[in-house]
Structure 1
Amino acid sequence: MNKKLICATPIAIAAALSLYACGGSEIGDPDITAIKNVVVIYAENRSFDNLYGNFPGANGLQNVSAANSTQVDRDGSPLATLPQVWNGLTQTGVTPAVTQAMTANLPNSPFAIDDPNGFNTPITATTRDLYHRFYENQMQINGGKNDKFAAWADSGGLVMGHYSLDADKLPLWKIAQQYTLADNFFMGAFGGSFLNHQWLICACTPVYPNADKSPAATSISSVESDGVTLRVASNSPASALTGIPKFVLSGNLTPDFYAVNTMQPPYQPSGNKAASGGDANLADPTAATTLPPQTQKHIGDLLNDAKVSWAWYGGAWGAAVSAVQDGTSNVVYGANLTAPNFQPHHQPFNYFADLAPGTTNRTQHLLDGGLAGSEFIKAIDAGTLPQVSFYKPQGNLNEHAGYTDVGQGDQHIADLISHLQKSPQWKNMLVVVTYDENGGFWDHVAPPKADRWGPGTRIPALIISPFAKKGYVDHTQYDTTSILRFITRRFALPMLPGIAARDAALVSNGSKPLGDLTAALTIKQ
């Protein structure tokens, strides 16, 4: 009997799903044991359409029309124009300067930020930051219509901006052409970097027990009964054309005490200093933004249990640790917008009690990526990467709008790929390059409906490997947790609770469980 017909039967499908859940494989599945090293490179704050909207063969801007891109006002009526880009499109001192006044009367449609006949702002220029917060992201998505990005933004029409790129302008574009680009990959959670880093490593949302009786009590969000919509303040401008929205309280916590917007690690290096006279290794627990240590099971725990080697390489981690130890503050605390601009809330394992300062677990697994990735590159070149590696670029190299640009971060990652391709470990390697979240930028594809945490807006993802399909656009539905799905499948690990809950929610809403990246591979069947 034809194998394809067998694999199409409901019984075969059920058997395959059962084997996958148990860490096994069925005839026709890739033999992923050939992959010995998994490397995850996690950049910042770009939607798919923002960078790859013109990528050949991808679901991009060629599929955008007035029907799926027109932005509506806060009352649901179509906007006559996009709002002005409040406070201007570019950062102060950036050339070419684009002031707020210069952004008036933008057509209600996506636009190219780098259009030479328009704002002419290249990927080497730093644009202003945009809202990328938990509730605001859901309000912008508006049930999948994606039509209130401008309405609930603090950056006005900039949300609709994208770049007109190709392989000559964006280094990673050329790499995407050589390997696999996923064009149906969504950020794991609604909102910003803090929460999506947590979902990258544990598929979970941090908790703040008894937050209403804690220093963080004033950061509990005021939310409508739908659990999605922030309560709008009485003095909020009625129209997006007349001003930035105001809310009763858009805080860091949900009403039931989950941490969804940026909180600081309880351990140094943290954005909060140690308490006066307290342990220098800890962040001040009385600070409203210090999150208590977390105890959920994360991917590091599963890898440890299975004796699989792993590490988180934090760009500029060593410099940040040294800054804490010698009492300086230029790297970690305050508004440092120059290199390396270390971001403590981009270091998710530093929130977990089993990786606290002084533990062997921390010493073995939280490693210095070095300035400009220098220590990570040494490990790549020496062929000493562990079986699973996560790399987080330092702030000025992560592509985050508001404090850096696309160009230098993209080149940095492309340079890392070049080192990885020459590594002694390359022949058995899988590299995933993706972004933590959309950074507030619009995308035209509706996220699949799942649980209360996500998935959020679509983001780029590249699968780079000797085993990746070449010149391929993968339309499989993924999100950030698909990285964990691949790692757990490859190393026969148990499924994290958040992944099982996400799949159950997807199925209950009429979708399939998310992919585990194996659709991008062409290993011997």
Structure 2
Amino acid sequence: MNPNPIFRWRPVAGLVWLTALSGCVSTIESTTPAAQKIQNVVVIYAENHSFDNMYGLFPGANGIANATAAQKTQLDHDGTPLKELIVFGHDGKPDANFPRMPNAPFRIDAPPVNRPPTQIVPSPIHAFFHNQEQINGGQNNLFAAMSTVGGWTMGHYDGSQFKMWKWAQDYTLADNFFMGAYGGSYLNHQWLICACTPQHANAPESMRVRLDAQGKLLKKDTSPSANVGAVQVFSAGGGQVTPDGWSVNTSQPPFQPSGIAPAPGGDARMANPQGAAGHGQPVPPQTTLTIGDTLSRRGVDWAWYAGGYAQALADGMQAPDVKRRIIYQRDPGSPMFQPHHQPFNYYARFSPGTADRARHLKDGDDFLADMAAGRLPAVSFYKPAGRDTQHPSYTDIMTGDTHLAGVLDKLKASPQWKDMLIIVTYDENGGYWDHVPPPQGAGWSDRWGPGTRIPALLIGPSVKRGFVDSTPYDTTSILKFITQRYGLEPLPGVRSQVGAFKAALE
């Protein structure tokens, strides 16, 4: 992978990152006795919150109180500090339902905003090029200006009201964990399973991002000041495919369940290869090596469990003229299934009718049944249904908090608990501000990331209790740990310098 020719920055003063040559995983830190005790790894992947947004007030963690004035102060597109923070609505204009606030981080769940965690709140744009420009060379001071919702990006919660906060207090909270790739959910789910970015070399021009001569997304000649209105860019949503054919923003899988219905008269198991309005064409079936491949080659059993998967599969295979009730639907009773959160469904190895698909892609109800019966595989990935992921705009944060804590209660009560490591983390920051710059340098970063800091909890009998782990991690640390624990073939995209949880294990 070539380094990003546009975004190269040095960390802010006070943070020192060791550097080394990029390459395959070569350390063996996770083959320690503590790691060898672990027989079951469970990865739970929630949605769209930065570390400061949820754990910025956590005692002993590197939180908002440690942010410098420069990191807190958001700039306009011309580099001058914003006069105030304004929340913009869907029309890109100031939303009268929100107060104007000083240019600084603010509490979402306290005056003057007063949005309790049981209430659905706006969702800042979270896309590949937006995220890079928001980070602004590690200064993290263009989050408001480069967002569709303006100053809302600077909001955070008092997380002590959440059940997951208690789990963080009881076990290990990682306060230096970054999302594997810049941008949104789609790309970061891919990085969770392969540390790679999908290719879409033949994507139509309508799906490709437009950038200026400096490689920037901002439409400087027409975008208003962030004191006036929401940002305007060359491609709404950031564009799905880079000019050189990499799929970086939300795109649909080639197989059902997909946001693209089957072709009229075609195979109901497939998405229409011609695409659909609002989605473009589906991503071609991918063949890059995944953690599923390396686990299977080693004979280590694994599964991807997804809430609402069985319902969504049936929903997706309906005739194309039938209205979907499960996929991307917010109707009462719908799990709000999100096809772009299902990364293995983009890979040829797991295409419909294959043995690998039947063996490894399972429903959320299977996850509950398997944990209760003590038959979880060695490695389990659990993706909650959309309504339980804590994703702003279509669910509230408290519903997901209750769901995640309930799953942890069940895992702790399961027969396999004594040998288990649970990693609860988030796909990406959801467009929310965080004050810590992502690490940069050889072995730490590449063209794709890492992006903004996100929460991560490590839970289990072998995990340190009441501990804040400040080791530098990113999403690829999960792959690194699994690879080392089970002696797998390394995935090339795993960053050589990220930690693999040694510091968090007893």
Give 1:66 shift.
2.1
**2:156 maps to which residue?**
162
| Contact kept in structure 1, 2:328 and 2:336, CA below 8 Å | no
The number of aligned residues is 473
Q: Which of 220, 236, 248 is residue 223 of structure 2 equivalent to?
A: 236
| Contact kept in structure 2, 1:331 and 1:340, CA below 8 Å | no
Check if 1:47 corresponds to 2:71.
Answer: no
**1:107 maps to which residue?**
102
**1:507 maps to which residue?**
none
In structure 1, what is the Cα distance between the partners aligned to 2:341 and 2:351? 16
Give 1:479's aligned amino acid. Answer: D
**1:93 maps to which residue?**
none
In structure 2, what is the Cα distance between the partners aligned to 1:469 and 1:439? 29
In structure 2, what is the Cα distance between the partners aligned to 1:362 and 1:189? 26
In structure 2, what is the Cα distance between the partners aligned to 1:160 and 1:127? 13
SS of residue paired to 2:242 = coil
**1:348 maps to which residue?**
343
Aligned sequence identity (%)? 51
Q: Which of 71, 83, 92 is residue 80 of structure 1 equivalent to?
A: 83
The ranges of structure 1 where at least 4 consecutive aligned residues each deviate by more than 6 angstroms after the TM superposition are 17-20
Give 1:248's aligned amino acid. Answer: F
Give 1:22 shift.
6.8
Long gaps (5+) in structure 1: 1-12, 90-98, 504-512
1:268-417 paired onto structure 2 within 5 Å: 268-287=256-275, 288-327=280-319, 329-333=323-327, 335-336=329-330, 338=332, 339-370=334-365, 375-417=366-408
Q: CA distance change for structure 1 residues 84 and 252 in 2, over 3 Å: closer, same or farther?
A: same
Give 1:217's aligned amino acid. Answer: E
Q: CA distance change for structure 1 residues 18 and 482 in 2, over 3 Å: closer, same or farther?
A: closer
Give 1:65 shift.
3.8
In structure 2, what is the Cα distance between the partners aligned to 1:332 and 1:60? 38
**1:426 maps to which residue?**
417
Q: CA distance change for structure 1 residues 402 and 337 in 2, over 3 Å: closer, same or farther?
A: farther
| Contact kept in structure 1, 2:52 and 2:64, CA below 8 Å | yes
SS of residue paired to 1:417 = helix
Q: Which of 43, 57, 61 is residue 58 of structure 1 equivalent to?
A: 61
Give 1:113 shift.
0.5
Q: Which of 204, 210, 234 is residue 248 of structure 1 equivalent to?
A: 234
In structure 2, what is the Cα distance between the partners aligned to 1:399 and 1:25? 31
Q: Which of 456, 471, 492 is residue 476 of structure 1 equivalent to?
A: 471
Give 1:130 shift.
1.0
| Contact kept in structure 2, 1:113 and 1:121, CA below 8 Å | yes
TM-superposition CA deviations, 1:91-121 (whole Å, max 9, x none): xxxxxxxx92243431000000000x32211
SS of residue paired to 1:487 = helix
In structure 2, what is the Cα distance between the partners aligned to 1:209 and 1:102? 43
In structure 1, what is the Cα distance between the partners aligned to 2:274 and 2:342? 21
| Contact kept in structure 2, 1:270 and 1:332, CA below 8 Å | no
Which structure shows the bigger proportion of residues in helix conformation? 1
Give 1:225 shift.
4.5
**1:518 maps to which residue?**
502
Long gaps (5+) in structure 2: 1-17
Check if 1:205 corresponds to 2:197.
Answer: yes
SS of residue paired to 1:494 = coil
| Contact kept in structure 1, 2:126 and 2:184, CA below 8 Å | yes
TM-superposition CA deviations, 1:357-389 (whole Å, max 9, x none): 00000000001113xxxx311111110100000
Give 1:210 shift.
2.7
TM-superposition CA deviations, 1:380-425 (whole Å, max 9, x none): 1110100000000001100000100110101101000001101100
Check if 1:21 corresponds to 2:26.
Answer: yes
| Contact kept in structure 2, 1:269 and 1:332, CA below 8 Å | no
| Contact kept in structure 2, 1:443 and 1:458, CA below 8 Å | yes
In structure 2, what is the Cα distance between the partners aligned to 1:64 and 1:443? 9
Give 1:31 shift.
4.0
TM-superposition CA deviations, 1:260-295 (whole Å, max 9, x none): 000000000100001111111110111123111011
| Contact kept in structure 2, 1:281 and 1:357, CA below 8 Å | yes
Give 2:26's aligned amino acid. Answer: A
1:148-227 paired onto structure 2 within 5 Å: 148-166=142-160, 169-211=161-203, 216-227=204-215
Report which stretch shifted further, 262-271 or 75-84.
75-84
Give 1:491 shift.
0.2
Give 1:348 shift.
0.2
Give 2:169's aligned amino acid. Answer: Q
SS of residue paired to 2:137 = helix
Check if 1:437 corresponds to 2:428.
Answer: yes
**2:460 maps to which residue?**
465
| Contact kept in structure 1, 2:23 and 2:492, CA below 8 Å | no
Q: Based on CA coordinates, which of the two structures has the bigger radius of gyration?
A: 1
TM-score, normalized by length of structure 1? 0.86
Give 2:128's aligned amino acid. Answer: F
SS of residue paired to 2:136 = helix
Give 1:246 shift.
1.5
Q: Which of 242, 254, 258 is residue 266 of structure 1 equivalent to?
A: 254
SS of residue paired to 1:473 = strand
| Contact kept in structure 1, 2:199 and 2:247, CA below 8 Å | yes
Q: CA distance change for structure 1 residues 64 and 268 in 2, over 3 Å: closer, same or farther?
A: same
In structure 1, what is the Cα distance between the partners aligned to 2:347 and 2:255? 9
Higher relative contact order (CA 8 A, sep 6+): 2
In structure 2, what is the Cα distance between the partners aligned to 1:231 and 1:118? 31
TM-superposition CA deviations, 1:50-104 (whole Å, max 9, x none): 0001111100012124232100000111111112333599xxxxxxxxx922434
| Contact kept in structure 1, 2:30 and 2:484, CA below 8 Å | no
